């Protein structure tokens, strides 16, 4: 994995979860991964 893709993954984890909960992805659906 390149450094760029790691940074992109971290960026996505801090975005609002697409499930609509209003939580950050890493604190919501991202915890299942």
Residue 10 has pLDDT above 90, yes or no: no
Position 14 scores a pLDDT of 86
The torsion region of residue 26 among left (phi > 0), alpha (psi -120 to 50) and beta comes to alpha
Residue 18 vs residue 5, higher pLDDT: 18
Residue 19 has pLDDT above 80, yes or no: yes
Provide the 8-state DSSP code for 24: B
| Average pLDDT value for the chain | 78
Q: Which residue has the tokens 């890493």?
A: 26
Greatest mean pLDDT among 7-11, 12-16, 25-29 lies in: 25-29
Provide the 8-state DSSP code for 20: S
Percent of the chain at pLDDT > 70 equals 61
């Amino acid at each position: 994995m390149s450094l760029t893709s790691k940074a992109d993954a971290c960026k996505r984890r801090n975005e609002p979860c697409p499930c609509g909960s209003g939580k950050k992805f890493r604190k919501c659906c991202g915890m299942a991964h």
